[in-house]
Amino acid sequence: MRKSFNATVVCFVASSLLVLGSGGYAADIKERSLKVGFVQAKDHPQGLALQKFAEAVDRRSEGKIKIRVFGDGTLGGDAAVISALQGGTIEMTLVATGLLTGHIKDFGIFDLPYLFSDYKEADAVLDGAIGKKLLDKLPEKGLVGLVYWDHGFRNLTNSRRPVAKAGDIQGLKVRVLQLPIHIEMFNTLGANAVPMPFPELYTALETRTVDGQENTFASIEASKFEEVQKYVSTTNHVYQPLILLFSKKIWDQLSDDERKLLLAASTEVQSEARKVSRDANEKALASLKSKGMTVTEVSPGAIAEIREKLKPVTDKHSKEFGEALINEMRAEIEKVRGQK
């Protein structure tokens, strides 16, 4: 019988760099073409990170394993691609962790508003015991989590007015992720939250079906939302990690050496993927301003007001994750804050 997934991952992580990094490739690596579908543009930082991953896999497999990157939602929206992974018709995807809450509710912990104040706190939680616990739950849902990468902090844009405080959000029709916590978050702030798949968003903004949306600066620029949105505000209301997922049905068909190789390549690229994403978000804000968007820097006082208004949402969803998990996560965050 095959080893348990958890034991296998421990073995892979411990041995992959030694076995695969030395050039001593095992014979059990076959010629393969693996598809990875995601909703962002191919020149988005997510696409660039996936291309780096493809290059690492190509190098480590000596050209035997090819990763084919499909951006712009060409293989479907996030929910459709996750379902395809579970069915074994697509091999890989890169999605925000919150999109897994319908399968494993604890992944929603990262969507709590104003959970992290910076990247260091987020990385400590994701790369620590909590991040691993969540990865270990995926195989029972037909998925394998390889690594956490970065999407960034989400910020609000709209076509109607500058948003400098909580009251300015009142009455805006805002596209949000198809997740209960995001819907409740914006409805609590007085907006009309409209969940919809990302590939439909540009047209909805262009036709004024919705007034605005919330996303990372890099995604706003890569999607050319400045063409249909006038105002952007630095709300930084949610930090969103990405997770590189593999179909368990197909994973189980790979050899041990192939699985080791894919894990090693995804880990190799992690630091660069995060840096590319974070640098791009920083540059994108300046670029959006140069392209004519009105940038509103939301003050700490206004952020505190928004956070207070969202406290009922935070409290409600925190209870869903259990006191033990919440306390463990907050203790890890406090440990990092104490080191600053």
The two counts, helices (H) then strands (E), for the chain are: 13, 9
Query: Domain tally for the chain?
Result: 1
Specify the CATH number for the domain of residue 39: 3.40.190.170
pLDDT of 41 reads 85
- The DSSP code sequence of 69-99 is EE-TTTT--HHHHHHHHHHTSS-EEEEEGGG
210-259 tens-digit pLDDT: 999 999 999 999 899 999 999 999 999 999 999 999 999 999 999 999 99
Tokens representing 49? 């990170």
Instruction: Count CA within 13 A, CB hemisphere, residue 66.
Output: 5
pLDDT of 283 reads 96
Look at the alpha carbons of 77, 82, 83, 84 in this order and tell me if their dihedral is positive or negative.
positive
pLDDT of 178 reads 87
CB 276 within 8 A of CB 45: yes
- Domain of residue 164, residue span: 5-16+31-338
The amino acid that residue 16 corresponds to is: S
pLDDT of 322 reads 86
- Tell me, yes or no, whether 24 lies in a domain: no
- Tell me, yes or no, whether 26 lies in a domain: no
- The DSSP code sequence of 235-257 is EEEEEEEEEEEEEHHHHTTS-HH
pLDDT of 136 reads 97
Q: Which residues of the chain have pLDDT under 70?
A: 1-27
50-95 tens-digit pLDDT: 999 999 999 999 999 999 999 999 999 899 999 999 999 999 999 9
Q: List Cβ neighbours of 287 (8 Å cut-off, separation of 6 or more).
A: 221
Q: What is the pTM of this model?
A: 0.85
